[in-house]
Structure 1
């Protein structure tokens, strides 16, 4: 019988999200493909330093003992030849990553459905945007505050999400952007019992929830903790709560911040990664925790005012 990922959480990740490849990427950008290939061959026995998503990936792989487990797939624009350095580094760190697609410059996100990936993390915003366009959960890993790659000994994985345009559609966000806070609040109050449509990360949250549910049923300590960290406040909270109830998806913590800056709350939660649709919010959060920008929805369709943590739907 063929190998199956049924019951597994599958995360696809690019080389530059997993490892610090700043030097080789600089060669690629400044000198071109041939120089890059030569650079990678000359340095293939030099181990790459951990990248922004390294700690998250290592903690996820420690869940392999759970019912179903986790599969990490490498999706890389490297060729198999230049990707040898990446696999050497994977082996050095003892990461249980055995499957990869090296596309030699072609679009790696084409293989997301073939692998059944619930999430795609990349340092390339164009690849992320294309994956989102096709309906896959994807985020651009931002340069983030450095973390000690050896400080993640705790087994629990903590993942935080913004709400609108991430877990939920951007329908409410559009009202806020077009008509302001008062209209947004009135609309959410009127539709409090109408579930929000799902956003690009609904399926990923559902996959996390299924893994949590299996752990709870087995009587084990749950290794995953999730949080909604949103700029919504009352009365816009009710529709969110009822939406998650309608989806039958549990979220462990919900922070309705009413416009307060999210970064300190994410640090207090201990997020291993945070996903938000607004670039400005991501840049602030990345000073505290690993952050993925989700370039989806109305906030990413036209130039936005200078970002601040205003009272909005998010």
Structure 2
């Protein structure tokens, strides 16, 4: 079941709907606390909100905005739903919908709410959503928790340029659509004033693979601000430099290798 917050709903035909688990956004707190502490994905929500604020500053009639769904599947947290709602208000987080769902039917709720990107710290949840065609990214301490004045998205180029060997999987279609929407948001800003920064990393292959991935993203209207060709080198140094809020592939983002 999903409940609406008191914030103004984004235009359903234009908004980019992102669902984040409350388990990722809020950390633990004492039982007698009125609000939860800040969690791993707290800076991510602030960065998404900052993009919306800049878009509306440029154009008060802007419709292409992030619309956030806060999803709760944890039964213990569901029993404290008023605390979740009051926590978002306490921190000034702009949440369009609060969704309290069982672990068995949370993917159905993602589909019903037209979620275009699902973010979770639970690998099993991300995998389930991906299998049903919902673009998903896995959050961990290497990503998500990095405070920044910009929303930083890192594309995994090896997945971007993966050849189609048959019918395009729904999750890949969703990835292409989402990247095109990010590109459209980018075009609302110049490079010097953008609250959205997009990076690209390729792990396999050399410069040609990176060039192919750059070309593919540009064909979707995405401007890449920073590109890295790792040639099977470790991820860690690049993540510490770019500090993305999440990694996007054509399945769900993980940081193997």
- For Structure 1 versus Structure 2, the TM-score category normalised by the shorter chain is 0.7 to 0.9
Per the alignment, in what secondary structure is the counterpart of residue 215 of structure 2?
helix
Shift of residue 61 of structure 1? 0.9
Larger strand fraction of residues:
2
How is 1:269-284 mapped onto 2 (pairs within 5 angstroms)? 269-275=242-248
Q: Tell me the alpha carbon deviations over residues 31-68 of structure 1, each in whole angstroms, 9 at most, x when there is no partner.
A: xxxxxxxxxxx926442222211101111112223133
Say whether residues 1:293 and 2:254 are aligned partners.
yes
Structure 2 unmatched ranges of 5 or more: 1-8, 56-61, 166-170
Who is 1:227 aligned against?
199
Say whether residues 1:15 and 2:22 are aligned partners.
yes
Per the alignment, in what secondary structure is the counterpart of residue 236 of structure 1?
helix
CA distance in 1, matches of 2:243, 2:139: 18
Per the alignment, in what secondary structure is the counterpart of residue 13 of structure 2?
coil
Shift of residue 228 of structure 1? 0.6
Number of corresponding residues: 233
Shift of residue 92 of structure 1? 1.6
**Of 205-214 and 265-274, the range deviating more from structure 2:** 265-274
Q: Is the 8 A contact 2:144 2:244 kept in 1?
A: no
Alignment match of 1:237 (pick from 202, 210, 213): 210
Root mean square deviation of aligned Cα: 3.4
Alignment match of 2:132 (pick from 123, 134, 142): 134
Gap change, CA 1:104 and 1:274, over 3 Å in 2: closer
Who is 1:57 aligned against?
45
Who is 2:189 aligned against?
215
Structure 1 unmatched ranges of 5 or more: 24-41, 173-196, 280-291, 295-306, 309-314
Alignment match of 1:265 (pick from 233, 238, 243): 238
Per the alignment, in what secondary structure is the counterpart of residue 19 of structure 2?
strand
Gap change, CA 1:86 and 1:44, over 3 Å in 2: farther
Gap change, CA 1:94 and 1:147, over 3 Å in 2: same
CA distance in 2, matches of 1:146, 1:119: 14
Q: Is the 8 A contact 1:278 1:293 kept in 2?
A: no
Larger Rg: 1
Shift of residue 171 of structure 1? 6.1
**Of 52-61 and 197-206, the range deviating more from structure 2:** 197-206
CA distance in 1, matches of 2:187, 2:245: 20
Q: Tell me the alpha carbon deviations over residues 139-164 of structure 1, each in whole angstroms, 9 at most, x when there is no partner.
A: 2222448958xx54x2x211112122
Gap change, CA 1:88 and 1:45, over 3 Å in 2: farther
> Which structure has more RCO (C-alpha within 8 Å, separation ≥ 6)?
2
**Structure-2-length-normalised TM-score:** 0.75
